[in-house]
Amino acid sequence: MTETPSKEYVLGVGGMTCNNCVNHVETALSNIDGVLEVEVNLAGAKATINTNGTPSQETLESAVTNAGYSIHEPGADLGLLQLDSVPKDEFNWNDGAVWKQSAHNTKWCLIGCSIGDFGTIFFFQYTGNPWAWSVMSIMLLAMFNGIMTSIALETFILLKQMPLNEAFRVAVGMSLISMISMEAAMNIVDVVLTGGAKLTWWVIVPMLIAGFLTPWPYNYWRLKKYGQSCH
């Protein structure tokens, strides 16, 4: 009986921004019959897959795209995948895998933004606002600090995959539109429901819901159309 020769593939993978993304791609590829080993490189935006020769390149690519990521040219020196060979579907809002992945990315962005946002409001609320800042000033500072803590959290997560300077560069490249809309939604809900920059046990949940739902469609569009993740 003739054994099928082993074969290695290198795929360019777009949309990965953190260690969780790496794990998702690794899991999607590892679950394919015939895949022996998977190595995903976040900084290089590529996946190296060793197989027993049975799975096709199309099968591997489909696993990556179904997980919510895109396939692209991994580099001229690799020469194993041409961008023109990747089917380009028309944009639609019906891709469940992309909705799931964009929701996951939005969740991590929300966690990072909430740390700075809630922390700022909490500080002014429980120190009695000693500088007599207006509600608008407090909210603008909360939005700024939320964006900063989101970038800091992403940088920390990426340190597992790359040096500090590279991790910070990737973190700063996160979608500013997504973070600003998230911050604005949370703070508008806070003002509408409490009348000012206040945190209560009952306002936190609607703030988080608004902060998640507002940028989620944009994050889906960005990931589906351009293979770029918000986080």
pLDDT, tens only, 186-198: 999 999 999 989 9
Total domains, the chain:
2
Q: Is residue 73 located within the same domain as residue 151?
A: no
Q: Indicate whether 151 belongs to any domain.
A: yes
Alpha-helix residue ranges (DSSP H) falling in the chain = 19-30, 57-66, 96-126, 135-158, 164-172, 176-194, 201-213, 216-226
Q: Indicate whether 222 belongs to any domain.
A: yes
The mean pLDDT value of the chain amounts to 84
Q: Is residue 175 located within the same domain as residue 81?
A: no
Alpha-carbon gap, residue 40 to 14, rounded angstroms: 12
Which are the contacts of 58, defined by CB distance < 8 A and separation ≥ 6?
none
Q: Is residue 112 located within the same domain as residue 218?
A: yes
Six-digit token string for 80:
């194993």
pLDDT of residue 230: 61
Which are the contacts of 90, defined by CB distance < 8 A and separation ≥ 6?
none
pLDDT category at 231 given cuts 50, 70, 90 is low
Among residues 41, 57, 85, which one ends one of the domains? 85
Among positive and negative, which fits the CA dihedral 34, 36, 41, 44? Answer: negative
pLDDT category at 78 given cuts 50, 70, 90 is very low
Q: Is residue 76 located within the same domain as residue 129?
A: no
Q: Is residue 221 located within the same domain as residue 112?
A: yes
Q: Indicate whether 1 belongs to any domain.
A: no
Q: Is residue 109 located within the same domain as residue 195?
A: yes
Q: Is residue 118 located within the same domain as residue 213?
A: yes
pLDDT category at 85 given cuts 50, 70, 90 is very low
Is 80 exceeded by the pLDDT of residue 93? yes
Count Cα neighbours of 117 within 13 Å in the Cβ-side half-sphere: 29
Alpha-carbon gap, residue 79 to 63, rounded angstroms: 21
Among residues 52, 85, 118, which one ends one of the domains? 85
The CATH number of the domain holding residue 56 is: 3.30.70.100
Question: 0.75 cut: is pTM over it?
Answer: no
Is 90 exceeded by the pLDDT of residue 168? no
90/8: higher pLDDT:
8
> Helix, strand or coil for residue 50?
strand
Q: Indicate whether 170 belongs to any domain.
A: yes
Q: Is residue 150 located within the same domain as residue 77?
A: no
Q: With pLDDT > 70 as the criterion, what percentage of the chain qualifies?
A: 87
Q: Is residue 104 located within the same domain as residue 208?
A: yes
pLDDT category at 87 given cuts 50, 70, 90 is very low
Q: Is residue 167 located within the same domain as residue 100?
A: yes
Q: Indicate whether 165 belongs to any domain.
A: yes
Q: Indicate whether 231 belongs to any domain.
A: no
pLDDT category at 124 given cuts 50, 70, 90 is very high
pLDDT of residue 214: 97
Q: Indicate whether 76 belongs to any domain.
A: yes
Q: Is residue 74 located within the same domain as residue 104?
A: no
Residues of the domain holding 198: 96-226
Q: Is residue 107 located within the same domain as residue 208?
A: yes
Note whether 117 and 145 are within 8 A (CB): yes
Alpha-carbon gap, residue 140 to 189, rounded angstroms: 14
Q: Indicate whether 2 belongs to any domain.
A: no
Bin 73: left if φ > 0, else alpha if -120 < ψ < 50, else beta: beta
Among residues 53, 85, 117, which one ends one of the domains? 85
